[in-house]
Structure 1
Amino acid sequence: MDELELLKQGWKRQEDVLPKLSYKEIYQMILKKSSSIVKWIFVISIIEFLLWASLDIIFRVTGVHAEVEKESMGTFSLIASILSYVILIYFIIRFYLNYKKIQSTDSTKVLMENIIRTRRTVKQYIWINISFFATLMFGTTLYMVFFTEEFQKNGGGETPIWLIIVVTLITIGVFVGIIALFYRLIYGILTRRLKRNYKELEKLEI
């Protein structure tokens, strides 16, 4: 008997020994993994919310916020803070609802739809946050240049507007890149795992 036949017999014996999982058992495993991933997305979003809230409190305690108000930016800062909190709370609620939906899923098709919905929600969250951050930075610069007296008093009027805008855009690009990398590392890993689960569910449906 040649070596190939021996290998074939070995594989056959291994297949006989390995446990054969049923459709329901495989589905339950994927459901459990998907539920755990979405739970982590929800938890991370809460941690992010607490982080930003903590920074806001630190700025107020250390007097940084008071300095912003002195520069006639109190209203602008308040509106920006409210919008950021609204965005975070809105997506935290959506992540929680996605988690509850996946937990109560009772069919492969519905679970696949919930996975797609969750991945779409995460992508929306990332792009909205990045867009909001970039718009906020650019808007803050324009507000300081055109609507604060302190900027003009400190010699800001001598600096060309185009130079300020170019430097601002470069700075925004750097920060957006850092934030995008952070989101890709944290949320990207989780959404890729969800995608793998989705593909496993597709095989079950075949």
Structure 2
Amino acid sequence: MDELELLKKDWKNRDSELPKLSYNEIYKMILKKSSSIVKWIFLISVIEFVLWSSIDIMVRLSGEYDDLEILGLENFSVISTILSYGILIYFIVRFYINYKNIKTTDSASVLMKNILNTRKTVKQYVWVNISFLSLTTLVVIMYMTFYTDTYEAQSADQNIPLYVVIITSVLVLAVFIGLLALLYRVVYGILTRRLKKNYQELQKLEV
């Protein structure tokens, strides 16, 4: 049994006293735990931004993006990269604002609202990232299929029907997106579940 549970048990057993001090102690502990969780969400998003940026820079320096110029996708690559950075920065700022809001919360009702807002932001972050990555990759696949002979040449070289090459590419994308979604679910899911538990504890306090 953790310290919060012990305090709650002690508070419930002290019926002869108004639980003013104990209530405040429990609330402050929930506030501290929630603030710490949201801080970790913010830090993980910053780490993710640095990681993706580093990968992008290394790939560009290695010359892997030269093929995109040949295919006529250079402008699309630049625009999609700017948009992806913009999305990451936007949510990093929102996570930081959520952290500051929770850290300075002075009532249980407001803290509950901030916890819900944070969980909503995390869900939006995950779905927007996955949707954007899926959309941009599908656009590249469609462009290569209908406006270049890349897939057709590949299927001819390997003696494989064109539709098989396309379906394989889509399936590989689906597997990658699935693994990314699983990673997000594990990393951010653990933190949001802890926030949900704190929210439920606050609901009990408010009864």
Regarding TM over 0.5, the answer is yes
Q: What residue number does 2:153 align with?
A: 154
Q: What residue number does 1:191 align with?
A: 192
Asked whether the 8 Å contact 1:138–1:168 carries over to 2, the reply is no
Query: How many angstroms does 1:138 deviate by?
Result: 1.2
Q: What residue number does 1:205 align with?
A: 206
Bigger radius of gyration? 1
Asked whether the 8 Å contact 2:151–2:165 carries over to 1, the reply is no
Q: CA RMSD in A?
A: 2.1
Q: What residue number does 2:33 align with?
A: 33
- For the pair 1:81 / 2:81, whether they are aligned, the reply is yes
| Residue identity in the other structure for 2:138 | F
Worse-matched range after superposition: 63-72 or 92-101: 63-72
Q: TM-score, normalised on structure 1?
A: 0.84
- For the pair 1:108 / 2:108, whether they are aligned, the reply is yes
Query: How many angstroms does 1:65 deviate by?
Result: 1.6
Which runs of structure 2 are paired with 1:134-173 in the superposition (5 Å)?
Answer: 134-148=134-148, 151=150, 154=153, 162-173=163-174
CA distance in structure 1 between the partners assigned to 2:141 and 2:151 by the alignment: 13
| Identical counterparts, % of pairs | 54
Asked whether the 8 Å contact 2:101–2:114 carries over to 1, the reply is yes
CA distance in structure 2 between the partners assigned to 1:75 and 1:165 by the alignment: 23
Asked whether the 8 Å contact 2:151–2:166 carries over to 1, the reply is no
Gaps of 5+ in 1: 1-14
Q: TM-score, normalised on structure 2?
A: 0.83
Q: What residue number does 1:47 align with?
A: 47
CA distance in structure 1 between the partners assigned to 2:148 and 2:49 by the alignment: 30
The count of residues paired between Structure 1 and Structure 2 equals 188
Q: 1:155–1:35: structure 2 CA closer, same or farther, 3 Å change rule?
A: closer
Gaps of 5+ in 2: 1-12
Worse-matched range after superposition: 42-51 or 126-135: 126-135
Secondary structure of the corresponding residue to residue 63 of structure 1: coil
CA distance in structure 1 between the partners assigned to 2:196 and 2:151 by the alignment: 53
CA distance in structure 2 between the partners assigned to 1:69 and 1:40 by the alignment: 39
Q: What residue number does 1:7 align with?
A: none
CA distance in structure 2 between the partners assigned to 1:38 and 1:23 by the alignment: 22
Q: Which has the higher contact order (CA 8 A, sep 6+)?
A: 1
